[in-house]
A and B are shown apart, each in its own frame.
Chain A
């Protein structure tokens, strides 16, 4: 009977195993192989070049810029959306009229297609005709050239991703807040704890599982995020918005350089694995499950 249950287990997970195996894990393995070749997608052979692609990448200062930029982009998006998201959640947790409406509204950008979001914001950012220019001009501020200024393009993209992500983070935090046990707070308040102490000593620790969830999904999300880049900047101007995702896509499908694409993909996978692993480790010690 036990064996029968094992077989049933296998039968139930088999479709998922096959699908993830072929379309998630096999690509990692295959990228590993491609990264050791120099293949232009068109020639019938894939010449073996050993670690040359990796050597090439890691001696190229431009690739380091890509790595730094990726970390910067992900880091800022994740940290800001968590801090600001929590703040918005605290706001939405107040008894204010219309807060449910605002909650719904702020969540809406999260469900829009990246292609559409990119198109909208391209127009908003336009330094000559855009909405932001119209908002900044009366303030006496000249609109930055956003997508054509190396210094502004990445901040611009960060703004777009924050716009997409903030509402989601806030709503998740809000749910966390609403699930907090009131008795603890009452007890603490009787002990004379102030608002800030309550927040630091109770709210934050109690929310740590939520924080953990948001941190991991946001990191993964920002690593996935290249549809908006594809629409808005194509990695430019120059390489000002070339993140690791875009680099891999660009090498594979634009430069037709499967070797560098594969190597970039492997680097990306390893980084993500390391970050997630570290987060999990850290949270294991710090997360307070009830």
Chain B
């Protein structure tokens, strides 16, 4: 932040103080114009159109994103993009909501497959169709991804860091356990193999077979529900209390409580990297990070498709993309889109994929020579791509119903960490989710039908 910005803040704060504390609060004296949340502007970028982009990428992902942004800022001389980290996808969305209330907003923000829908239902996003042209349009992106962000023929959400869950296993533990060098094909096979994994002695004792993350538990569990023949919901009719979902839950509970093979972890990636667990399911976006953790832990990782059950396969898509905020001024919305256009260059899309492990979102990126070379060299990078055609978007309740993902995560964490029964937990969820789903019926009809 520059000295100039400093004085702006304090002057503004001072004037506002003079404006009176109590009176203003009670009268609600906000104006109607939306201002921008500007942070620092490096000297060389002064005078450009300043685009503020909020995102949720930490660690090496943040570095990779910043690199793309730096390249964009250097590639032209009209626009300056500033990235601001806001925490998880959920926290970012919450911050956007709070920012809209305060009329002090970013121009561009990263939304997950859930949070963009919330913003869409609240009419906070800008449809991007009018920005498309011959060079860049829906055809640029992988159909499955662009379609997911399109409602009623209008596109609200541009794919960027799209992912699917992926099965990760520790090759060293597998070979010491005398297991084949591949991911288990089915949950049943996994269960058969688990005891062998748990007998392998490592530096900190014997490992568990399966670490499960608590955040996004319901995203991972979509697989279980589907392969057991059920759904979280059909449309807005909740079906998590139905038998197939219950059966999927019971199986997992047995795997945890009876076999003591699986457990809930706050840090499945670290546990995996430290050899505390032999397997885990994480996003494809964790591929790069997990590989480095494994390298530090002195073993190779293997990846595979999510396990099946009785021949049925199921895997949800996930991850995030960009939305442009409706209330930003036209000039900055256009500038924000120019940045998205930059990201959609096949080489840039491939660059992001290689740095993170997220799926390439642009069709042409899959043919990018560097990416092709990498997938040939490192099989793990191609696993997600090969799995992609078999995936589909999640059941509607999680993305659409407000707070549903959180509530389902809470329910699943409860199953993973306590002695409560599946029927009780899912039964309560069924009721709570249905009453919330009924609340958005009207808004859903308005936006989707």
Question: Which residue in B25, B122, B265 is a CB contact (below 8 Å) of A40?
Answer: B122
A residues 93-114 touching B (CB-CB < 8 Å): none
Known contacts A145-B264, A238-B411, A254-B94; is A128 also within 8 Å of B204 by CB? yes
Known contacts A22-B21, A22-B25, A148-B263; is A236 also within 8 Å of B214 by CB? yes
List A contacts of B406 (CB < 8 A): 250, 254-255
List B contacts of A56 (CB < 8 A): 435
B317 CB to nearest chain A CB (Å): 23
Question: Which residue in A60, A145, A147, A237 is a CB contact (below 8 Å) of B432?
Answer: A60
Q: How far is the CA of A50 from the CA of B122 in the complex (A)?
A: 23
Known contacts A40-B122, A254-B403; is A236 also within 8 Å of B94 by CB? no
- By secondary structure, the A interface counts as loop
A139 CB to nearest chain B CB (Å): 15
Q: Are the C-beta atoms of A257 and B403 separated by less than 8 Å?
A: yes
B56 close to A (CB within 8 Å): no
B residues 121-144 touching A (CB-CB < 8 Å): 122, 124
Interchain Cβ contacts under 8 Å between A and B, 20 examples? A19-B21, A22-B26, A26-B25, A38-B439, A42-B122, A56-B435, A60-B432, A62-B428, A126-B266, A128-B274, A148-B263, A150-B413, A150-B414, A236-B410, A237-B417, A238-B411, A238-B414, A253-B98, A255-B406, A256-B403
Query: Which chain B residue shows the least CB distance to A41?
Result: B97
List A contacts of B414 (CB < 8 A): 150, 237-240
Q: How far is the CA of A126 from the CA of B267 in the complex (A)?
A: 10
A-B interface, 8 closest residue pairs, ranked by CB to CB distance from nearest: A238-B414, A150-B418, A42-B122, A255-B403, A237-B417, A237-B413, A238-B413, A148-B264
Given known contacts A240-B418, A254-B406, what 5 new A-B pairs fall within 8 Å (CB)?
A41-B101, A128-B204, A128-B276, A237-B416, A238-B411
Residue in B98, B100, B413 whose Cβ sees the most chain A Cβ within 10 Å? B413
B99 CB to nearest chain A CB (Å): 11
Q: Are the C-beta atoms of A147 and B266 separated by less than 8 Å?
A: yes
Q: How far is the CA of A235 from the CA of B101 in the complex (A)?
A: 26
- Map CB proximity to A onto B397-432 as digits: 1 under 8 Å, 0 otherwise: 000001100100011011111101000000010001
Known contacts A41-B97, A43-B122; is A255 also within 8 Å of B416 by CB? no
List B contacts of A150 (CB < 8 A): 413-414, 417-418, 420
Query: Which chain A residue shows the least CB distance to B119?
Result: A42
Q: How far is the CA of A62 from the CA of B414 in the complex (A)?
A: 12
Q: How far is the CA of A257 from the CA of B436 in the complex (A)?
A: 11
Question: Which residue in B21, B274, B276, B402 is a CB contact (below 8 Å) of A257?
Answer: B402
Chain B contributes a number of interface residues (CB within 8 A of A) equal to 39
A223 CB to nearest chain B CB (Å): 22
B276 CB to nearest chain A CB (Å): 5
Q: Are the C-beta atoms of B90 and A254 separated by less than 8 Å?
A: yes
Interface residues in chain A, defined as those with a beta carbon under 8 Å from any beta carbon in chain B: 18-19, 21-22, 26, 38, 40-43, 56, 60-62, 122, 126, 128-129, 145, 147-151, 153, 235-240, 250, 253-257
B262 CB to nearest chain A CB (Å): 12
Question: Which residue in A18, A128, A255 is a CB contact (below 8 Å) of B22?
Answer: A18
B271 close to A (CB within 8 Å): yes
Q: How far is the CA of A151 from the CA of B432 in the complex (A)?
A: 24
Query: Which chain A residue shows the least CB distance to B204?
Result: A128
B445 CB to nearest chain A CB (Å): 16
Known contacts A38-B439, A42-B100; is A148 also within 8 Å of B204 by CB? no
Q: Are the C-beta atoms of A148 and B265 separated by less than 8 Å?
A: yes
Question: Which residue in A18, A19, A41, A148 is a CB contact (below 8 Å) of B214?
Answer: A148
Q: How far is the CA of A60 from the CA of B407 in the complex (A)?
A: 13
Known contacts A145-B264, A148-B214, A257-B402; is A42 also within 8 Å of B94 by CB? no
Residue in A19, A129, A238 whose Cβ sees the most chain B Cβ within 10 Å? A238
B364 CB to nearest chain A CB (Å): 37
List A contacts of B416 (CB < 8 A): 148, 237
Q: How far is the CA of A231 from the CA of B321 in the complex (A)?
A: 27
Query: Which chain A residue shows the least CB distance to B212?
Result: A148
Query: Which chain A residue shows the least CB distance to B208?
Result: A128
Q: How far is the CA of A128 from the CA of B207 in the complex (A)?
A: 10
List A contacts of B403 (CB < 8 A): 254-257
Question: Which residue in B263, B417, B428, B432 is a CB contact (below 8 Å) of A240?
Answer: B417
